[in-house]
Structure 1
Amino acid sequence: MSPSAALQSPIFRSYLWFLLSVLICAGIVLTIAHFVLRRDTGLVWSTYRSWLVMAPLAAAAVFAGRIPFICGLTAIAILAFREFARVSGLTHDWWTVGVIYTGIIATGLYSLGVFSEATALVPLVTFGLILLGPILRNQTRDAVRRMSLGIIGFLYLGWMFGQLGSLANSANAYGYLCYLLLATELNDVAAFTFGKLFGRHPLRSAISPRKTWEGALGALAFSVALPWVLRFSFPYFGPWQLLLTGLIVGVGGQLGDLSLSVIKRDLGAKDMGASIPGHGGILDRIDSLIFTAPLFMLMALHYYPER
């Protein structure tokens, strides 16, 4: 991955045109809904305007190359964990927070190949140091809660989300990254759209009251069909791999969203932050990638280890 390679990649160029088309079409639909159909689209417009900023930034990160992309990914993970620590009350636990920040940076260094032979070492050392914290401080009060939150925070944001960095190292980095980033976000949009249009039956009312079975199944159907539409991303994928790709995004994306909702409900928070208008915080925006990134990486590595 490099700027020159991106300019020469037909896959990257195709995704730029596809992304531009999606943004333009979405803007036209929202304009018609607001001015012609007189629908209340205030919140959706706010979300759309945020996408007009986030989508070019994501494309620029992929265009910049492997090292800038992985460094940017690491920075996003750190900012997302900062939100997580603030909402969960971990902010004042300097040991756990420091260990997790170090673990996230170590994951980024692993993706950069600094210590590529230590695949399992980063999570093992990070978890071990988190568990060691109460012993070193000779404290037991609230220890289980803080250790559990720390392990969840690193597992989600350091290791699982960080597997996007491993995809950046693949020979087909543009196909994998562009597809996964776009498809995961479109899966969210599809779930919202199908839920708004046809939603009647709550999916998990105690976890996320607005999510419906109709929205979830509609998004799943959309995500299963999308790999065939964007097959140029991975022309060597067979029908089975294309189906798995759709299921990983359609199911994994919604699991990531629901798993974060479980944490937010338990902590009594609506959003993890407010840095992105219409979306909440950074963690609220990347939660769907928590499951799709490692699952897709494992699938691609299993079937196509040389790609």
Structure 2
Amino acid sequence: MTGTSWSSPVYQQTVFIVLSIIFCSGLIVYFFRKQNYYFNVSWASIKSWLVVAPLLFILMGLPNPLPLVVLVTLGIMGAKVYFQIMGMFHRSYFVLICYAGIIALGACAYFDRLDVYNVMPMIVLGASCLVPLILNSYKRMIQYMSLTLLGFIFLGWCFMHLGLILHFENGIYQVIYLIILTEFCDNTNIALGRYIGKKKLFPRLNPHRTIAGLFVSLLLTLFLAGAMRFLLPDGSQKYWLTAGLIASLGGFLGDLIMSVIRRDAGVRIVGPFIIGRGDYLHRMDRLIFVAPIYYYLMLALPDMSL
């Protein structure tokens, strides 16, 4: 794969390290999977990563602009699940406007047009406001327009900041870095929340998250962020510490907000089930806040003295 990320020794090293960790942890958990429910849940999650991780590295290692195309596709898939959860998938005008907006964000990211990128929510809102006129209908239109804009901002504007990050130095590595950190934090948070601490953070929203579990998973994520800082163009402390905190706290916030949406809609899983982790939206919900926060903080960090 000459001319792609696969030709880089750093990329090859990253693939080997990550897949080795997943395989070794999976081997350990496999032998204990029948001991209790929690080992069985952990095994289900690791099984999914034995499939997802190699696929992720293959896709993100493709030549430009294919990694960006992958991100656009994931954004559209996540938006599809969102509209199904909201019971809006039959409202094709609103769904197609959101899809078109996500594709436009991909084009903005490709040409590095941040100015157009940041006005896309207004364009999507304006297009959504035309739908009642086209249909000559007013019933529930305020709800449809609001939900369309919310879905676009979360699964389009927020998530597609990963496409903007691709323009950073070693951008593809930074995107992979963020995905690894957010998923690691999520899995350790779930696992530790079942064993460590009894004080729930938001028991009515997500009964599996404890204060102690969040704190320990944050520390472990910071350790991983430091261990894999070679993926950052600047491995100094302020960069990997910032990335670890964003992945932990921003990811937790994104996961919690999506839990609110799912619980309010009364729908937990929609569409194809991914081994060990619900639907497509479960795979990307932690990145909806991580991506934009990381993007803007990394732009600001060089001018900040820490």
Q: TM-score, normalised by structure 1?
A: 0.91
Return the alpha-carbon distance in structure 1 between the equivalents of residues 65 and 85 of structure 2.
31
Residue of structure 1 in register with 2:139 after alignment: 141
Residue of structure 2 in register with 1:103 after alignment: 101
Q: Check the 8 A contact 2:194/2:208 in 1, yes or no.
A: no
1:44 aligns with 2:42: yes
Can you list the C-alpha shifts for 1:16-75, whole angstroms capped at 9, x where unaligned?
A: 12111211222122123236xx23444433322221111111101111133111111111
Q: Check the 8 A contact 2:185/2:217 in 1, yes or no.
A: yes
Return the alpha-carbon distance in structure 2 between the equivalents of residues 44 and 223 of structure 1.
17
User: How far 1:273 sits from its partner (Å)?
Assistant: 3.5
**For 1:130-209, what aligned pairs fall within 5 Å after superposition?**
130-209=128-207
The residue type paired with residue 36 of structure 2 is R
Residue of structure 2 in register with 1:32 after alignment: 31
**For 1:233-252, what aligned pairs fall within 5 Å after superposition?**
233-234=231-232, 236-252=234-250
The residue type paired with residue 49 of structure 1 is K
Return the alpha-carbon distance in structure 2 between the equivalents of residues 70 and 43 of structure 1.
32
Return the alpha-carbon distance in structure 2 between the equivalents of residues 239 and 233 of structure 1.
13
Which SS does the other structure have where 1:101 is aligned? helix
User: How far 1:267 sits from its partner (Å)?
Assistant: 0.1
Q: Which segments of 5 or more consecutive residues in structure 1 lack a partner in the other structure? A: none
Would you say how many aligned residue pairs link Structure 1 and Structure 2? 302
Percent identity between the two aligned chains = 29
Distance 1:122 1:227, change over 3 A: same
User: How far 1:141 sits from its partner (Å)?
Assistant: 2.2
Return the alpha-carbon distance in structure 2 between the equivalents of residues 109 and 168 of structure 1.
13
Residue of structure 2 in register with 1:20 after alignment: 19
Distance 1:28 1:234, change over 3 A: same
The residue type paired with residue 139 of structure 1 is S
Can you list the C-alpha shifts for 1:241-299, whole angstroms capped at 9, x where unaligned?
A: 33221210110110110010000010001224443122111011111111111111112
Q: Which segments of 5 or more consecutive residues in structure 2 lack a partner in the other structure? A: none
Return the alpha-carbon distance in structure 1 between the equivalents of residues 10 and 188 of structure 2.
23
Return the alpha-carbon distance in structure 2 between the equivalents of residues 18 and 225 of structure 1.
15
Q: Give me the CA root mean square deviation.
A: 2.1
Which SS does the other structure have where 1:109 is aligned? helix
Distance 1:89 1:34, change over 3 A: closer
Which SS does the other structure have where 2:48 is aligned? helix
Return the alpha-carbon distance in structure 2 between the equivalents of residues 6 and 223 of structure 1.
25
Q: Check the 8 A contact 1:99/1:129 in 2, yes or no.
A: yes
Return the alpha-carbon distance in structure 2 between the equivalents of residues 175 and 78 of structure 1.
23
The list of structure 1 runs, each at least 4 consecutive aligned residues, that deviate by more than 6 angstroms after superposition, is none
Residue of structure 2 in register with 1:11 after alignment: 10
User: How far 1:116 sits from its partner (Å)?
Assistant: 6.1
User: How far 1:304 sits from its partner (Å)?
Assistant: 5.0
Return the alpha-carbon distance in structure 1 between the equivalents of residues 43 and 228 of structure 2.
27
User: How far 1:143 sits from its partner (Å)?
Assistant: 2.1
Distance 1:42 1:95, change over 3 A: same
Match of residue 122, structure 2, among 120, 124, 132: 124
The residue type paired with residue 201 of structure 1 is K
User: How far 1:170 sits from its partner (Å)?
Assistant: 2.0
Can you list the C-alpha shifts for 1:177-196, whole angstroms capped at 9, x where unaligned?
A: 22111111101111012112
